[in-house]
Each structure stands twice: as C-alpha cells, then as structure tokens.
Structure 1
Amino acid sequence: MEEEIKHRTLSVNGIAMHVAEKGRGPVVLLLHGFPELWYTWRRQIHALAALGYRAVAPDLRGYGDTEAPAAVGRYTCHHVVGDLVALMDELGLGEEEKVHVVGHDCGALVGWYLCMFRPERVRSYVTLTVPFRPRNPAMKTVEAMRALFGDDYYICRFQEPGEIESEIERIGVRNVLRKILTDRKPGPPMWPKGEDFSRRPGWPLALPSWLSEEDLDYYTSKFEKRGFTGGLNYYRAMDLNWELTAAWTGAQVKVPVKFIVGDLDMTYTTLGVKEYVHGGGFKKHVPLLEEVVVIEGVGHFINQEKAEETNSHIIDFIKKF
C-alpha cells in the first residue's frame, strides 16, 4: 500500500504552521498561491516522493490550518521568508543544507523573496506562472498596477480590508473558489465592484477534468473555516514590501531557475510580460535562468491542470542539482 501524505503542525517564526509531507531524501519545498492550500500540490507530492525526494508543502501563513495573524503588517516578505527559514530548521536541516523550491502564483513571489534574501539556502528554484520582476524605485507596487490596469484590477480591488471579504460572503465561498480556479480568460484579471459572476448566464460552470467536486469541497471547507483575509493580506502588504526592499533595488537573483507557464495564463498574457520573459529582461535580472517552458492550451493553475507534464519538467530540472 502506498505511503500516505503525513500532516503535522510545527511552530515556526512564532506561528503554528500546518505542513503536509511525504518521502525521504533531498527536500523540495512547495509554495502554493491564492486562493489555494498545500492541497494544490497533492499530485506533485506523490510524484516527488516516489523518486526519492522529501516533498514538503505547508499551508502558508494565513491559509488553511496554519495560523492567520490579523494585521497586514505581519504578512511582509520578511515575515513569510522568516517562516520558510524557520520551517527548514524545524525539518532538521542545518544552516549549510539547501532545498529545492517550487512556487506558484503568490507562492512564487514568496519563493523569489527567499531566493533573493537567502540564496545560500536554495539549491534550485522552479517558478510556475510568475517571473521575477525587479523593484521599481520610482513608484509603489499597487500604485503602478492601478496606473496600468485601473481600479478594477484584482490586486487593486483587494486593498481595502473587509471590502472584498464582504463580497465573497455575499457571492458564496464555493462560488468564488469555483470561479477563480476554473477561469481561463487571458489577460489581467479584473474584479469589477458589485459583479456577481454566480448569476451570469450558464452558471454554474462545469468543473474541468483536473478539479473534482471533492477537491472543491476540500478548498471550500478550509476557506469557510479560515476565511480569505490572511491570503488577501499578502496583496495588502505589497506596498509595505516595496518600502522594506529599498536596499535590494537593482539586486539580481542568483540561484538556478526554471520558469514554467501556460500560454493562456493570466499573468503571462498580461501586457508586457511575454516581451519581458522572452526579450532578455528576465534573464538580465535572473542570470542563472536556465530554461523557460511555455505549455500550450494551459491556464493559470498549471500544476493541477497539467500535473504529469509539470511534474516531469520539475523533476528534470531539480535532478541536475
């Protein structure tokens, strides 16, 4: 009988963190995005463990069964990277031991901060959907997004504490999760005020083959219990991160990197991203970028939608290190 995924709660950086793990060998740290959980990596965990790796997937600060501090100021890049370094210590890794890191969506941003702040702890980094973007010293992060995409851009809409939480409560947690996880519309994601997509013609949408009603049940149960505020606070801390990272203006990320994205991904199809990724800008800031993989016909949740193909790309890269 196949060994089950193990779950435990560890004390890291002053919070209780839920961790799912399986396998023995070099550690692969899997960092989920919004609105997800450790569960997004369920197919990667089994595949990595079967090949001699120790797959470790935490519920990040504010998510699922991990503690969720209320204050936005406790979700800065320094807090979340501190969580990961403390997690490595709790896993029994010494100061000289490195981990492979795989990040998706907001988890990919956390991964980039880890690589920038503590490169000596990272063996390799596979980033899904989100390339590294250097700090713009002239304009705060959310201000720049508002100037480019307007007030309805999802990150701009997430800024006011309590506002989007009230909309989610009105629309329904399951409806919101269903919409976000199944959305395949290219381009910058918009969330216009007052929009109730659950009342659109044709709703509810049929779930794709990679996401079952049972999967949606799991996500829904955890977000109904924990709420969305913790996850939203990552976006609300973006301007604070901009202030805190002034000393890293112009810094390069110097760990081996592989970037994987779907050609329908909402980030990849946002204005200017393809040009940055393929035109030399990405490589300039990440000199050890070894490979860019674009998978055709795939949306944002690539590690779930194309699990086997994503697994193959991850494993092909990390086994080199």
Structure 2
Amino acid sequence: MEGIVHRMVEVNGINMHVAEKGDGPVVLFLHGFPDLWYSWRHQILSLSSRGYRAVAPDLRGYGDTDAPSSISSYMCFHLVGDIVALIDSLGVDQVFLVAHDWGAILGWYLCLFRPERVRVYVCLSVPFRPFLGRNPKVRTVDAFHALYGDDYYICRFQVFISFHLLLLVGREYGTGINPNTPENLPSWLTEEDLAYYVSKFGKTGFTGGLNYYRNLNLDWELTSPWNGVGISDKIPVRFITGDLDLVYTSAGMKEYIHGGGFKKDVPCLEEVFVQKGVAHFNNQEAAEDTSNLIYDFISKF
C-alpha cells in the first residue's frame, strides 16, 4: 500500500510491528481476531489523506509482532501495557483511538485503566458490556458455557487445537470463504488481501490470538478492583456496528445498546451507527462509510 511506512518498535518487553502514514494528530487503530494491522488499510489511507497520522500495529501474537510462548503473556494488563508503551513511543500524550473486535475490548480496557491517554474513542462491533460488564460471581468463560454451551466458539478456543484462517473465518463469521476457491471471495476481500493474510498466519499460526481468549478467566480475576466501574465521562465515544454482526444480533445485545444500558456504562457515548447489510468486519466490508464515520467524529475534537 503506497506510502505506508513499516517499522519495529520495542514496547513492554516485545518488538511490535507498526504500519503508519501521514502527519498530524495520531489516530491509533487496534485490530481484532483473527486479523492484522492490514484490516485498517482503507482507514489508514483515508485518515492520513485528511491530516492525521494513522498508526496501526500488529498486536501481540500477530503478524510481525513478537508472540511470547506463555499463555499468561496475553493477559489484559500485558496487552494494554503494549498499547500504552506504543503511545509513549509516538511522542504524544493522547490518541484518537479506533478499535474493532478484540482491539475494541482492549480499547475499553485502555479507557478504563488509562483514560488520560484517550482523547476520543471510536469503537467498532464490540460494546463495553460483553467482556467488561463484569459479573462478580461468575467467571467470564463459565458464563459463556452456561449461556451458549460447550460448542460456543469462546469455549472451544480454550482447547488447544489448530485452525486454518479461512476455514475459521468462514465458520465463525459467515463469510463463506473457501481457500481453495478464491473466486468465491466476498467483494471486500481480494486475492491479494487473501495472500497477505495467508502469508502472515502461515508464519505465526493462531496460538497468540487464541491466547487472548484463554486468559479471559484470569482477566476476570485481575480486574476485580474495577467491578462496577464505567467508562470516564471525559472520553467521547462513537459506536459503529453492522446490522448483520453476530455480536449485535446476539441475545440481549440490541436491548443493551439501544435501551439505555450502554449509555449508562459509557456516559459520553454520543452516537450509535448501525450499518445496513454489514456483518462483523465493517471496517473492510463498508470501508468508505466506516472511514467517513470515523473522520466525521474525530474531526469535532
């Protein structure tokens, strides 16, 4: 992608790969599972052309960033520590934060633990509640077992098994991708995009990304001091999701997002946008619309 600069940064005891372009206020993009900095390729080009410094790392365990072997190296404090150290390395006090999926969860943690580092938060797909609306009596994975059964993907991710990227994406998120028939790729994913993902996950596998899920119960224990704590009323938030996103359509989620619960937990939640005909990967499926929604919000601050 023309003009995007790639470099390695030492953060929090690991080497992190960062892709960036542009000059101006920093917009920090955090990707989800199973993804890479590359998922923000459209937004990097769009925001950098509008006067921002767009920065997107491969998170710990992904792509060209180090992938420690220990499962406990992926607990939430390590992951947020990486982000704080990355912000420090950029030479700024605050960033415009944009995040999706697991990146969105880390974004909420950053807002919770270090709110002074976040100027504005644009969250895609995962609202504050699912992982961080902490039940003090039931561990996170245990709650998913009780709600959805042993075959629920988060429960299955606790088991040490391997997944091919495209088969996993097709099964869990309904993209219908078959690695043997690239002509069936969805319109938002080209053969070039597919080749990039295959090259990176072919090198790293999925263990690092799966370890995020394998620390959910440990994260539940470690975050007990924040039980019942909401997001700072000093962080303006915009939430963007697709009406076909399985997070959005899961039991009770629409009621929480639109019924006042989300606004109670996130008092500076200013707007919720539901993109029609869009599923989970909205930063890629509806790239231009998502980029415009991000820019429209952050340009106010």
Q: TM-score range by the shorter chain?
A: over 0.9
Aligned to 1:183: 175
Matches within 5 A, 1:1-321: 4-93=3-92, 97-133=93-129, 134-160=133-159, 162-163=160-161, 165=162, 168=163, 172-177=164-169, 183=175, 206-254=184-232, 255-321=235-301
What's the offset of the Cα at 1:46?
A: 0.5
Q: Which amino acid aligns with 1:99?
A: V
Q: Which amino acid aligns with 1:149?
A: Y
1:249-285 deviation digits (Å, cap 9, x = unpaired): 0101011111000000010000010000001110110
Aligned to 1:192: none
Is 2:80–2:106's contact at 8 Å kept on the other side of the alignment?
yes
Tell me the C-alpha RMSD between the 2 structures: 1.9
What's the offset of the Cα at 1:176?
A: 3.5
Q: Percent identity?
A: 61
Is 2:178–2:185's contact at 8 Å kept on the other side of the alignment?
no
Q: Which amino acid aligns with 2:124?
A: L
Q: Which amino acid aligns with 1:154?
A: Y
1:154-191 deviation digits (Å, cap 9, x = unpaired): 0000002x22x1xx2xxx4444445556528xxxxxxx
Is 2:27–2:96's contact at 8 Å kept on the other side of the alignment?
yes
TM-score (norm 1): 0.88
Is 2:169–2:175's contact at 8 Å kept on the other side of the alignment?
no
What's the offset of the Cα at 1:208?
A: 1.3
Distance in 1, Cα, partners of 2:50 & 2:281: 23
Name the CA shift for 1:175/1:205 in 2 (closer, same or farther; >3 Å).
Answer: farther
Is 1:182–1:207's contact at 8 Å kept on the other side of the alignment?
no
User: Matched residue pairs, number?
Assistant: 296
What's the offset of the Cα at 1:233?
A: 0.5
Name the CA shift for 1:73/1:219 in 2 (closer, same or farther; >3 Å).
Answer: same
Distance in 1, Cα, partners of 2:192 & 2:277: 25
Q: Which amino acid aligns with 2:35?
A: E
Is 1:258–1:290's contact at 8 Å kept on the other side of the alignment?
yes
SS in 1 for 2:184: coil
SS in 1 for 2:128: coil
What's the offset of the Cα at 1:70?
A: 1.2
Q: Which amino acid aligns with 1:37?
A: L
The answer for unaligned runs of 5 or more in structure 1 is 185-196
Distance in 2, Cα, partners of 1:89 & 1:316: 26
TM-score (norm 2): 0.94
The answer for unaligned runs of 5 or more in structure 2 is none
Aligned to 1:188: none
Distance in 1, Cα, partners of 2:66 & 2:128: 28
1:202-227 deviation digits (Å, cap 9, x = unpaired): 97781111101110110011001011
Distance in 2, Cα, partners of 1:234 & 1:33: 10
SS in 2 for 1:156: helix
Distance in 2, Cα, partners of 1:178 & 1:6: 31
